[in-house]
Chain A
Amino acid sequence: MGAHLIPHASRLTFSGDRFLLLNALVLAPLRENAGRTALAVLAIALGVALGVAVHLVNSSALNEFELAARHLAGEADLVVRGPRAGFDESWYPRLSRLPQVEAANPALDLEVPLAGRPDSLRILGFDPLRAAQVQPSLLPERSSMTLELFDAEAILLSPSAADWLRLKPGDRLDVLVGTRTIAFKVAGLLPQGAYRQRLGVVDVATAQWRLAQLGRLNRVDLRVKPGTDVAGFRRELQALLPAGVQAMTPEIEGERGAHLTRAYRLNLDMLALIALFTGAFLVFSSQVLALLRRRTQLALLRALGVTRRALLAHLLAEGAVIGVIGAILGTLLGYALARYALALVGADLGAGYFRSVVAGLEVEPGTLAFFAALGVLFALLGAAAPAWEAARRAPAPALRAGDEEESLRKLHTLWWGTASIAAGLLLALAPAVDGLPVAGYVAIGLILLGSVLVMPHLVERCLGRLPSPGRASLALAVAQLKATPRQAAISVAAIVISFSLMVSMLIMVSSFRTSLESWLERTLPADLYLRPARFGETAFFTPDEQSRIAATPGIERAEFIRTQTLMLAAERPPVTLLARPVDVSDPGKVLPLTSRPYTPRPDEPPPVWVSEVAADFYGLRAGERVQLPIGGAARPYTVAGIWRDYARQNGAIAMDRELYVELTGDRLANDAALWLRRDASLTEVQQALRGRLPAAAGFEIATTRDLREISLRTFDRTFAITYALEIAAVLIGLFGVSVSFSAQALARRREFGVLRHVGMTRREIGTMLGCEGAVVAALGCAVGLATGWPVGLILTHVVNRQSFHWSMELSLPWLPLAGLALLIIAAAVATAVWSGRAAMGEDVVRAVREDW
């Protein structure tokens, strides 16, 4: 029978002992099980590819963001920045006269909506003469063109802006200010390489006049005298500046992008790591089963004198080969994916953080090497435990048949598994680390790891309680499962990993989507919404226009909202100030409060309502006081409640519009919410509104339904990359199931042969395997649900809360979960039956007896 011959030895091509062993132990088994090897390689490659792609795209976007901030600041050592409403221009001469300042350039830096298209262009108004000292690279190469900037219609475009707008020198550029169209003439282009993003440059006086910002500035770039202590001067300057105006270094300005997006980037990195983790698990499960199958060969080699260490090294090398091939393929695939993602969904992978950033893909050899190494490491980790077990196994019992289960029994994992789950659950209660949900992710990792570790014991207990059916094929299936719980546990664990990821992501996404829907319901109570432009900062409705809108036939009630920005900290992006009608006695009518409302006493400062994001960023609670720079002066306000806001990622503060107007005198509005009369026709009201506003304006009229649909579409787009990563992780998990089933079916070929000899039909063996698959998958889904549930809770209430600072109501998508479970069970049954069929494809007689 030749039971103890090493099957690969006949094909040895190297003569040296080392190569002989390498071939017999590493290369030949990999070749022999090409399908299994390919799946394991693919799993690692996918994990590496996702990591590489996500990281390359993110770092390219961040590099561009930082580069843009650096280029715009030029040679400035400090940038004084105000909110969108800016600060009085009289601050410019005061700043430029400070003894530490060598040169200063006053500027207006605004996103300006484009007329005729739903987009905006960043326009920087600065003093071209001062720019020669502070930002010389932003000046045109020809000095005559610099002079042209003093023409009130002239604008210089960066090459990328000109490309994007398809404009050339001499062409006209229309932008929106209020609801009017303002025309600029393209006087020329900025030098190539001066500024890679989309930018228009005009004279600061032109910007103030034409963008309706007379007497206002929102930026002054300062170059300090040599020898000045920049940090010290910054502190002095900050004390001098009016409320809501911040002095910052260009580095802080550049790092803001990184700070703003780091939680989002960490989430993507974690998803890629989860894909790698499932890849490592695939390597683990396939190696465990492959080494079980080869246990007599390995025992024979040990009996022939191969040392334990040599055996371990060679078996680890098998994992390393899978890792290296997977890492190389994954790196190439990741680069291709990054290029594709950048072109398809943009530099922020669809999340909306860097909407207008134009990024080219930058290859970072260090990043590529890091993820490739990670791929090899995960493959090695996956191979380590089975290799260790195989190497330390005593050769004598392994030469006997039927010790597979015994060898798996030696893995004492219950204690470690329970401890890991307990530690994970405790860690989920920990706060964010430096604003990142590090503990939450570690908790998820520990719970997943723990559930895999407790699996052998759990499966043994569950299978031990299975009743023995009367039908022979089913009884055999049950007997097989009861007798080999540790082997079944490997398949169950593969399903648990895959299904728990599905469950947790579904819980998180469903909770988010349901919460968003109810949030939209609450925040969009009117019938129609009107705004002068979708993007940009210079579009608004004047009081006269507001009156005309409110008086439009068919409109019963109109509410107007003014949005401004507040700069509360240099390191953080500005917070949105939302001035809207709010009933102080019942703010919950328009704001979805998540805290109990606090009604300020008459002697307390006026109320504001802070979004969860702003509350987290600035540590605010209902009932507390907060200093806010509104109307040019910092005054105390009472935090009258915390509200949920999914629209503004940098935080928002709401206040009653009447109070805002009283404080600022600003009666402009950015949005209008309109309630129609019961008998009014939506179409007629829309037409009437268009007739009452300037014809050329790019204002948008949308019904509540339109806005809900747009918001949910945006939500789905934002989660597109999450879905893609989840699908990848799930596919890898399902690969694991198929690998473990087919490996077990191959290992049981002789058993199938005996069953055929004693008179079982192929169909009966198929039924037996299908039953085994169904039990394993059902158990996997049940445990997966039990594991996915806490992981989903952690994702929803810990990771999401700490990453994005908004809360959600828990929503359990039972129907999709049940459908997925059924799908997995069906897939497992099909895989088990198919694996058995493939294993029985060869003559069953030969499975029992190799010779004639």
Chain B
Amino acid sequence: MLSIREVSKSYGGARPREVLRSVSLEVRRGEYVAIVGESGVGKSTLLNLVAGLDAPDRGSVVLDGRDIASLDDTARTLLRRANIGFVYQAFHLLPHLTVAQNVALPLSLNGMDLAQARARVLEMLGVVGLAAAAGVYPRELSGGEMQRVAIARALVHRPLLLLADEPTGNLDAETSKQMLALLREQVKRESGAGILVTHSALAAASTDRVLTLSADGLRPG
């Protein structure tokens, strides 16, 4: 479903720094993959390339048969809107939208009508255990609750691919454990596949396959 072939990416002007060098990865439908590695090795860059938020210098990123690198910005955005869900370390809920509005956002962007969207949003909030918090604003929630909302938002439109970037980085151990279980369960239920970027061995252990990203590329283990 996702095929990354020989992807390289550098940043910087006069003295560019090569962040990724000839990285390849295949992710099959239903698979949940963890990518681990040291800070600055390019894990998040890889996620951005997969999401079409950035373009590789070399190589290809093919999602569901479409080469993301060959699309223009609008087409990449529309592809992302329909097929990708994001979970971030810092939650990134929109502070001025209620919990339900945050979760409804991807559905609204994908043109779903309000009645249908409301039912789906309540369903997802129920799944993450926050049905009662639909009308509250993110600032009224704890970190763990905010991350549950973020997970609901990432999966509400049943994306092909879920991208999670250090989703437990800001959470305590117990909450992290609950969140990882929820993520795995929901990826398997609502999404085609998932990629989890993390430093944490515990988080990595919740996935089907663990890959280590280093200067030499991606390797199993």
Least Cβ–Cβ distance between A278 and chain B, in angstroms: 29
In the bound complex, do residue A759 and residue B109 qualify as a contact, i.e. CB atoms below 8 Å apart?
yes
A757 contacts B96, C-beta separation under 8 Å = no
- Complex alpha-carbon distance, A479 and B98, angstroms: 9
Indicate if the CB atoms of A760 and B109 lie closer than 8 Å. yes
Q: Is the CB of A851 within 8 A of B40?
A: yes
CB within 8 Å for A750 and B81 given contacts A479-B101, A759-B106:
no
Taking the closest CB of chain A, its distance from the CB of B55, in whole angstroms, is: 11
Tally of chain B residues near chain A (CB < 8 A) = 43
Stretch at the interface among A262-270, A397-405, A500-508, A595-603: A397-405
B200 at the interface (CB under 8 A from A): no
Asked if A756 and B44 sit within 8 Å, CB to CB, the answer is no
Tell me whether A1 and B90 are in contact (CB under 8 A). Answer: yes
Give B14-53 interface residues, CB cut-off 8 Å to A: 19, 39-40, 42-45, 48, 51, 53
**Which of B44, B106, B109 touches A851 (beta carbons < 8 Å)?**
B44
A759 touches B139 (CB 8 A): no
Do residues B108 and A475 form an inter-chain contact, with CB atoms below 8 A? yes
Q: Cβ of A402 and Cβ of B95 under 8 Å apart?
A: yes
Closest to B154 in A: A758
Q: How far is the CA of A401 from the CA of B137 in the complex (A)?
A: 11
Q: Are B92 and A483 in contact (CB under 8 A)?
A: no
Asked whether A852 is an interface residue with its Cβ less than 8 Å from the other chain, the reply is yes
Given contacts A402-B139, A472-B109, contact A759 B92 (CB under 8 A): no
Chain B residues with Cβ below 8 Å from A753 are 92
- Interface locus among B71-79, B171-179, B186-194: B71-79
Q: Is the CB of A759 within 8 A of B39?
A: no
In the complex, how many angstroms separate the beta carbon of A453 from the nearest chain B beta carbon?
24
Given contacts A480-B96, A483-B97, A851-B40, contact A761 B77 (CB under 8 A): yes
Interchain CB contact under 8 A, A852 and B114: no
A450 to B153 CA separation, bound complex (whole angstroms): 43
CA of A568 to CA of B8 in the docked complex: distance in angstroms? Answer: 95
B44 touches A852 (CB 8 A): yes
**A635 on the interface (CB 8 Å rule)?**
no
Report yes or no: A760 in contact with B108, Cβ–Cβ below 8 A: no
Residue A754 at the chain B interface, CB threshold 8 Å: yes
Q: Which of A401, A403, A750, A844 has the most CB of B within 10 A?
A: A401
Q: Mark B155-175, 1 if CB is under 8 A from A, else 0.
A: 000000000010000000000
Chain A residue at minimum C-beta to C-beta distance from B74: A761
Q: Which of A405, A472, A759, A851 is packed against the most chain B CB atoms within 10 Å?
A: A759
| B80–A754 CB distance below 8 A | no
Look across to chain B and name the residue whose beta carbon is closest to the beta carbon of A764.
Answer: B109
Would A757 and B95 count as touching, CB distance under 8 A?
no
In the complex the two chains form, what is the Cα distance from A852 to B54 in whole Å? 12
Number of inter-chain CB pairs below 8 Å: 100
Per-residue contact bits, chain A 126-142, to B (CB 8 Å; 1 contact, 0 not): 00000000000000000
Indicate if the CB atoms of B108 and A759 lie closer than 8 Å.
no
- CB-defined contacts of A483 to chain B, threshold 8 Å: 95-97, 137
Q: How far is the CA of A761 from the CA of B48 in the complex (A)?
A: 16
> Which residues of chain B are within 8 angstroms of A1 by Cβ–Cβ distance?
89-90
User: 1/0 per residue A742-765: CB within 8 Å of B?
Assistant: 000000001101111111111110
| Minimal beta-carbon separation of B88 from chain A (angstroms) | 7
Most chain B beta carbons < 10 A, residue from A402, A762, A763, A843: A402
Q: Would you call A845 an interface residue if the criterion is a C-beta within 8 Å of the partner chain's C-beta atoms?
A: yes
User: Is B74 in contact with A754, judged by CB distance below 8 angstroms?
Assistant: no
B171 CB → nearest A CB, Å: 14
Docked-complex contact B54 and A759, CB < 8 angstroms? no
Most buried by B among A3, A476, A844: A476
Q: Which chain B residues border A480 with CB–CB below 8 Å?
A: 96
B105/A472 in contact, CB under 8 A = yes
CB pair B109–A852 under 8 Å, yes or no, is no
Instruction: State how many angstroms separate the Cβ of A623 from the closest Cβ of chain B.
Output: 67
A226 on the B face (CB < 8 A): no
Closest CB in chain B relative to A403 CB, distance in Å: 7
Interface centre among A1, A404, A754 (most CB of B within 10 A): A754
The answer, among B39, B96, B153, for a CB contact under 8 Å with A484, is B96
How far is A763 from B108 in the complex, measured between Cα atoms in Å?
A: 16
* Cβ of A847 to closest chain B Cβ, rounded Å: 10
Q: Check if B165 sits within 8 Å of A849, measured CB to CB.
A: yes
Complex contacts, B81 vs chain A, CB 8 Å? 758-760
Whether A756 and B96, one on each chain, are in contact in the complex, defined by CB atoms closer than 8 angstroms, is no
Residue of B nearest to A750 (CB): B92
Chain A residues positioned under 8 Å from B42 (CB to CB)? 852
- Identify the interface centre among B48, B84, B137: most chain A CB within 10 Å of its CB: B48
A762 CA to B164 CA, complexed, in Å: 23
Q: Confirm or deny: B82 has a beta carbon within 8 angstroms of a beta carbon on chain A.
A: yes
Q: Which of A405-438 touch B at CB < 8 Å?
A: 405-406
**Does A365 count as interface, using CB distance less than 8 angstroms?**
no
Q: Please judge, given known A-B contacts A403-B139, A759-B82, whether A848 and B106 are in contact too, CB under 8 Å.
A: no
Q: Mark A1-18, 1 if CB is under 8 A from B, else 0.
A: 101000000000000000
Residues of A within 8 A of B202 (CB): none
Tell me the smallest distance from the CB of A841 to a CB of chain B, in Å: 13
The residue of chain A having its C-beta at the shortest distance from the C-beta of B111 within the complex is: A472
Q: Which residue of B lies closest to A848 (CB)?
A: B92
Of all chain A residues, the one with the shortest Cβ separation from B11 is A852
Instruction: List A572-631 residues whose CB lies under 8 Å from chain B.
Output: none
Judge whether A665 is part of the interface by a CB distance below 8 angstroms: no
Best-surrounded residue of B89, B96, B111 (most CB of chain A within 10 A): B96
Decide if A232 is an interface residue (CB 8 Å cutoff): no
Please provide the 3 A-B residue pairs with the shortest distance between their CB atoms, ordered closest to farther: A759-B81, A483-B96, A402-B95
- Can you spell out 19 A-B residue pairs with CB atoms less than 8 angstroms apart? A3-B90, A402-B137, A404-B95, A406-B139, A472-B109, A483-B137, A484-B96, A757-B51, A758-B153, A759-B80, A762-B73, A762-B74, A844-B53, A848-B88, A849-B88, A852-B11, A852-B19, A852-B42, A852-B44
Spell out B's residues near A (CB within 8 Å).
11, 19, 39-40, 42-45, 48, 51, 53-54, 73-74, 77-78, 80-82, 84, 86, 88-90, 92, 94-97, 101, 105-106, 108-111, 113-114, 137-139, 153, 165
Q: List 11 other contacts, CB 8 Å, given A402-B139, A756-B77, A761-B73.
A: A472-B108, A483-B95, A753-B92, A756-B53, A757-B51, A757-B92, A758-B153, A764-B109, A849-B44, A851-B40, A852-B40
